[in-house]
Chain A
Amino acid sequence: MQQSPRGCGNLTSNTLKAVLTAVFLTALGACSSQVTVNAPTIPDPLVEKIPISVAVKFPDEFEHFVHQENVIGKEKWTIDLGRSNTLLFTKLFEAMFDEFTVVDDSVDPRDLPIDAWIEPSIDAFEFSVPSQSQTPSFAVWIRYRIKIFDSEGNQFANWPISAYGKSLSTAMGGDNALRRAAVLAMRDAAALIIMQMDRATGISSLNRETLSSIAASPEPAMPEPALPEGAPEESQTTAAEDTTDETG
């Protein structure tokens, strides 16, 4: 019996369908996701400014922070925070301090007429996806570290903060949920910094006018003149590297 060309065509077509299906399923099993966080919405904070002038040096990682992770047996996630950390901290510190400038690596902050300078950094970035947590949520943890130096360049405080954001996955896929979780974690960090920075580090005590008036005072010098009344002991403990508590 002679096989008709039409029958042969059907066979080829079926084989092609099967191959395409197999390729599609394989691709699904080994897919990767790339999430880019553009400038997050950080509103103008309702906060009283701290009356000092500060400069901030952003590390390179703040300009283009990228985190990659393979979820075992599942997929590869790439989270690109881009410049969002720089934008976040710039907005934050502008709102928090009377005077604020961003300096680059070529500038020695000790040459500037400032009360303090700040060096934020990212210690760690972690996330979890629903397949890991067995919940319908994406979660992001960001551990920042804020180092504060006085106008002479001496380290005054070293404050680690942990921020957390969580977002339910949606029918539109995990990318949006993970992006939202990252933005919520950044907002969480901002809230924490606004609420606790001065209390935890005592940065307001670095005001040079206050310091000089204390120095010129005929009263006996206090053992810790840099700390105002009510300043927490954390500013001392945070100055000690890696022995701090977790306030976040």
Chain B
Amino acid sequence: MKRVKPMSDQIDRLGKLLLVILPCIVVSACTTARVEDVRVTATGILDGEGVVIMARSYHLGNETEDKFIKCVGAALARGASALRVVPNSEFVDALFPWFEPRTAPSDTKGLPDLMARPGVAETIARKGVRYVIWLDGDTERVAGGGSLSCAAGPGGGGCFGFAWWTKDSKYDAAVWDLTALQSAGTVSTDVSGTSYLPAIVIPIPLIARTRAKACKGLADQLKSFIVTDEFA
């Protein structure tokens, strides 16, 4: 009679395996990040003033993900030096059609004409938007390799192999001051990292979260970029 090993034995063995593999790979699954800013003019923000985060137009080939825009907005709105973030859709709808992908100004030279349009300056003032932050960039898979195969049958299934891939999250944020009608500067971030997926029966994904790190890095830098003493 064939003896079936108790489930607890199998779980113990798997746990030991993970204990060996995980520390090795977690060390390797790190990311490298670079965040920098270029200031053009003095910034600052007063009580009641806020920011709105916009994506550069897809008419210009921009691919910035909605998820990233939401992430940056949420990160700006919480923690120390939190900013008041006006929801993007609310701002775009209130100023329809002047911030649609086709019609939004592509540079600050268009701002005076835009503000002169009927109702635009009043609506922006009513919304309390001081800065527009234009996001540009995306996350791309730049390299990858390895091999992983999975199989399933009536008796069960499993995977075996090893795969890896490298992602690069590169984003720029141009900050426009709607009071001064000029660019305040840009903040950019570039985060790259390699993810690993080893599999011995069970795949163990070790993901380098480059987009999440880019979001946090960019938001932190934007806060310090904008929240300075206006009269310093």
Contacts and interface: CB of A to CB of B under 8 A. Distances in A.
Contacts of B230: none
Interface in B126-166: 154
Nearest to A13: B154
Contacts of A48: 118
Given A14-B154, A164-B59, A43 B94 contact: yes
Interface stretch (A26-34, A185-193, A203-211, A217-225): A185-193
Most buried by A among B66, B93, B97, B117: B97
B65 to A, nearest CB: 6
Contact of B65 (A45, A164, A168, A195): A168
B89 to A, nearest CB: 9
B118 A195 contact: no
A131 interface: no
B96 A184 contact: no
Contact of B102 (A45, A135, A188): A188
A188 B65 contact: no
A53 to B, nearest CB: 21
Nearest to B95: A46
A46 B115 CA distance: 12
Contacts of A8: none
B111 interface: no
Contacts of B224: none
A17 B103 CA distance: 56
Contacts of B59: 164
Contact of A187 (B65, B66, B95, B100): B100
Interface string A208-247: 0000000000000000000000000000000000000000
A182 interface: no
A200 interface: no
Interface string A17-48: 10000000000000000000000011111111
Contact of B103 (A44, A168, A184, A191): A191
The 9 closest A-B pairs by CB, nearest first: A191-B97, A43-B93, A43-B96, A46-B119, A191-B100, A166-B58, A191-B103, A194-B97, A45-B96
5 contacts: A14-B154, A46-B123, A184-B101, A188-B102, A190-B97
